[in-house]
Structure 1
Amino acid sequence: MSNVPSLVDLCVQTAIDNVRYLGDVGGVGEQLLERILPHCDVDQLKHIEDCSEGTDLSPLTDYLWKNFYHKKFGERSFNTVVQKMKSRNVTFQWRKLYEAKVKDMEEAQQKSIERMKKLYQNEDAQKKSRQVKLCTKVPPSSNKRNFYGGWGPGSIVGSSKSNLMKKSKVDFLKSQEVRNLTALRKNVVQKDDRPLCIRKPGGFSSKGSASTSQNIKPFQRR
């Protein structure tokens, strides 16, 4: 019979199993809450306290918030808070300390995000400015004489270009390929200038045939 749970134990176990559904616990005894509330996480405990507006649960939940603070922010931060409260002879609820620490961390994180955004924006602006500078066109310089009688920078560029063109042309004319083409053209022209000997059809001329006929002696019989 000793192993059979009591009705109170069954109710407490049922509340623990469904702690995520709990809200206002103002009418629940402290002894029962001491057994139920330690099974809550941060959000569940905060929800129960917020719903129980007419009941101060801090005497039952303060040590729970203390454990949450120590677990989330570490030993160093926990000891710093304890020492500050001792040195100033003050006491704060650990829920308020926990929420204040969370808020500070969120603000610091938000500031860090804002700084990163500004850095990226500045970097993008610098890239765009460099791109604009590269794409800008320089206006053409005039070739008119200046006040002192000299030529502008455009004339210097033009003369340098003409000198380069002349040099490249001379190099091209002196190249071996151009020499070969020139020699080939000369040979073709010389062949075209030679007189052509055109023979009439029919073989030899009349004079040639007459002379040959005179030179041939008649055949004599023996």
Structure 2
Amino acid sequence: MSFQRKPPSLLDLCIRTTIDNLRYLGDVGETDIYLLKDILPHCTVDQLTHIEDSTKGRDLSSVTDNLWKRFYQQQFGVESFNVVIKRMKEKGVKFKWRQLYDAKMKEREKAQKESVDRLKKLYAAEESKKQSRQIKICSKIPPSSKRSFFGGSGSSFPNLKGNLMKKAKLESIKSPEARIQADMRKRDLQRQISSPHMYVLSLPLPHLCVVH
């Protein structure tokens, strides 16, 4: 014995078609609640928000409140979900879950914005420190470009050269070769003075007489 599958009713086809095209659904008007209970659970957060906002003069919370409750738990976690329920019981109040969802979303966005602002300020402060250090380094007066071969400023080079010349002259005077030459010049001078064949007579300038 074979069983034939019952063909879908026209209503079922309409519900399926509506579910497949939820992105186009807006004001549901006076659509029966039992139909909305079959259709709206397939909505995303944005789609459900659009349908509720588009439906004027009708409160859909009898259908949508449990949907928003599910969205809250999925988006913000079980811990936050349980805290909200506990606080409402302690204070003896009850809010619609869409209100709680919207409030929590705004709180999260605010916290994220503040976190981003803090990061921006920290980044700006760090950049300011870098710029300040660069300005301090560049503001120092650079040393004179005229530097000697030995690393000093150009103005010290003549003094250094003079000192080196003096030192070299003293060393040359004290050297054995210099002493020998000095002795030779001294002996030549003595021989010229003691020689009977030649002498020098000094007269007032500009006359100079040499006698043999």
Normalised-by-shorter TM-score class: 0.5 to 0.7
Of 112, 123, 129, the match for 2:115: 112
CA RMSD of aligned residues (A): 2.8
Does 2:76 match 1:73? Answer: yes
Secondary structure at 2:56 match in 1:
coil
Q: After superposition, where does 1:24-43 map in structure 2 within 5 Å?
A: 24-43=27-46
Question: CA–CA distance in 1 between the matches of 2:109 and 2:37?
Answer: 32
**Which one of the candidate residues 98, 103, 118 is aligned to 1:100?**
103
Report SS of the residue matched to 1:78: helix
Runs of 4+ displaced beyond 6 Å = none
Give the superposition deviation at 1:53.
1.6
For residue 55 of structure 1, report the CA deviation from its aligned partner. Answer: 0.8
Output the amino acid matched with 2:110.
E
Q: CA deviation at 1:5?
A: 1.1
> Could you list the per-position Cα deviations for residues 27-58 of structure 1 after superposition, in whole angstroms to 9, with x for gaps in the alignment?
21001000000000000000000000211001
How far 1:165 moved relative to its partner?
A: 4.7
Distance 1:55 1:169 in 2: 108
Aligned partners of 1:113 and 1:165: how far apart in 2?
63
TM value normalised by structure 1: 0.63
Matching residue within 39, 50, 53 for 1:50: 53
Question: What aligned pairs does 1:157-168 form with structure 2 within 5 A after superposition?
Answer: 165=160
Match of 2:16 in 1: 13
Q: Give the TM-score normalised by structure 2.
A: 0.66
- Fraction of identical pairs, as percent: 53
Equivalent of residue 132 in structure 1, options 120, 135, 144 = 135
Q: 1:86 aligns with which of 89, 112, 117?
A: 89
Assess, with a 3 A threshold, how the Cα gap between structure 1 residues 4 and 130 changes in structure 2: closer, same or farther: same
Distance 1:124 1:169 in 2: 53
Structure 1 unaligned blocks of 5 or more: 141-156, 174-222
Query: CA deviation digits over 1:57-106, x for unaligned, max 9?
Result: 01100000000000010011000001000111110000010011110010
Deviations 1:117-166 (A, max 9, x none): 111111111111111110113499xxxxxxxxxxxxxxxx97xx66x956
Give the paired residue count: 154
* CA distance, structure 1, for counterparts of residue 122 and residue 110 of structure 2: 18
Helix, strand or coil for the counterpart of 1:108?
A: helix
Amino acid at match of 1:84: R
Amino acid at match of 2:20: D
Shift in CA distance, 109/165, structure 1 to aligned 2, threshold 3 Å: farther
Q: Secondary structure at 1:117's aligned position in 2?
A: helix
Deviation at 1:2, TM superposition (A): 6.0
